Amino acid sequence: MMERVGKASPLEVVCVEEMLNIMFSKKSGPTSYAERNIENGYAFSLGRLLINEPILRHIKNCTEEEVHWKLGKNELSTTLDELDAFISILYARGIYTVQII
């Protein structure tokens, strides 16, 4: 074990220098994956990176099961497009609220 006298060890200095180089050598902005998958800057395609179709389908199924269990009705259903629109409105409202504050 190395003795500490209030100074960083040479190994700690090298580790911190490498970490700072990694942090500040990266360019700001979206990752290359996001750049490839966001279509013409549309917020809809950006939202699809956060919540893709399998996740959306899972939310839909769980929500419908809960409604059927609580209300005892099986005829109540929603489409993936309706659910996607609802989640998009929630995100947009959250962004708008943050900008006001």
What are phi and psi for residue 5, nearest 5 degrees?
Answer: -130, 30
Residues 6 or more apart whose Cβ sits within 8 Å of residue 34: 46, 49
Q: Give dist(CA 38, CA 84) in Å, integer.
A: 17
- pTM for the predicted model, two decimal places: 0.50
pLDDT score of 29: 65
Q: What's the sign of the alpha-carbon dihedral 65, 69, 75, 78? A: negative
pLDDT at 82 over 70: yes
At 3-24, the pLDDT tens digits run 555 676 777 777 777 777 766 7
Give the type of residue at 68.
H
Element (H, E) at 53: helix 53-71
At 28-74, the pLDDT tens digits run 666 676 666 666 655 555 666 678 888 889 988 888 888 888 888 77
CB–CB of 2/9 below 8 Å?
yes
Residues 6 or more apart whose Cβ sits within 8 Å of residue 37: 45, 48, 49
